[in-house]
Each structure stands twice: as structure tokens, then as C-alpha cells.
Amino acid sequence: MPDGAVDEPDVREEAKHLLDPSASLEWPAPDAVLEMAAALGRRGDFGTARSLLKQALDRGVPPDLVHTFQQQLALSTYKDPELRDAEALELALRMVTGGTTSPPPHGDPDAYGIPGAILKRLHTVTGDRIHLERSLRFYERGWDQLDDYYNGINAAFVLDLLADEMDPEDAAVDGLRARAREIRTGVLA
């Protein structure tokens, strides 16, 4: 096993020991904490991953990793099946966007994809169209600026969802569907 790698079967136990306030264990390097959180996520244990990431942020991580920890904390928060209400999703969104409502002018695929996914889930929970519209802005920015297929496929999907919510006779439906086809064609190119 590579240096700092976490044995997946033992990751939950190791995380629980780290999170135990009565244990006086030395915390692993930040990269190892991120790997533990990812391993917990692969196992569907987003609650423990969330606690681990929050604790690491509270303890302090190097400045160049703060954003990565915040993104992963937001991801674990919105994917946690125990936190499916709008309040938890809004919290995850604030974590990853810093409270802004618009996508950043520049970023990596996750800077657009994670907020887009949270907003899409918010729409599912609340039924508010504004969340889909905001989700589309994030996904389209990730597609338009980075040619990132994840953001592109999701932008096309959200365009279709927006069109599905409209009156089929509305002239804007054709424009939404055409943009969705354009993006799908670009993803496949």
C-alpha cells in the first residue's frame, strides 16, 4: 500500500478513533484525511466523511488545501442521505460557493459541478424552478469554460428539465431543447 494510503475496510474505524474526543491520536497529513474522506464516501458513509472534514478544517489545514476541504465537505453534506432537507442543501451550497449566487469566473470542474448538483437536488426537494436555473448557470459555465463533460451532460439535462416544466407551446422550449442538443453534440465530439 502506498505511503499515506488508507486501507478501505479499516477507514471507518480509523475515522471514528480520530473523531473520538477522548482519544489523543496524532492526526494524519491533510492528503491522508482527504483520502479517508473519499474512501468513506465510496462506502456511502458521508456522515463520517463530513465529520472528519469539518474536524480537519477546525484543526487547521494548509491554506492551499482549504478550498479542497471545503468542496469535499460540501459534497459530503449534500450526498449524506440523512441530510436531505433544503436547509442542509443550502448549507452545503454556502460551503462551496461562499454564499455567492453566481458561478465564479474561473475554476476547476468541481467549482461548477458541485454547486450545480446541489442546486439540482434543491430543486428536487423544494420544486422551486429558480434552483434549476441557478444550477444551469453553474453547469454551463463549467462546460463553456472548461469543456468538462460532467458539467456539459448535466447542463443539457437541466435544460431538458427546464423545458419539461414549461408549456410545450411556449416558444422558449425549442431554444432550451436546441441548446441541450448542442451541448450533447459537443460532449460527444
Contact 152, 136 (CB under 8 A): no
Residues 69-106 pLDDT 10s? 999 999 898 888 887 789 889 988 998 888 888 888 88
* Mean pLDDT for the chain overall: 90
Asked if the model's pLDDT at residue 179 lies above 90, the reply is yes
d(CA 28, CA 7): 14
C-alpha grid cell, residue 157: 439535462
Q: Exposed, middle or buried by CB within 10 Å (0-12, 13-18, 19+), for 59?
A: exposed
Which three-class secondary structure state does DSSP give residue 82? coil
Give the pLDDT confidence score for residue 88 in this predicted structure: 87
Asked if the model's pLDDT at residue 41 lies above 90, the reply is yes
Mean per-residue pLDDT for 117-123? 95
Give the pLDDT confidence score for residue 52 in this predicted structure: 95
Give the pLDDT confidence score for residue 4 in this predicted structure: 45
Give the pLDDT confidence score for residue 9 in this predicted structure: 62
Give the pLDDT confidence score for residue 27 in this predicted structure: 86
Give the pLDDT confidence score for residue 37 in this predicted structure: 95
Give the pLDDT confidence score for residue 5 in this predicted structure: 45
Residues 128-166 pLDDT 10s? 999 999 999 999 999 999 999 999 999 999 999 999 999
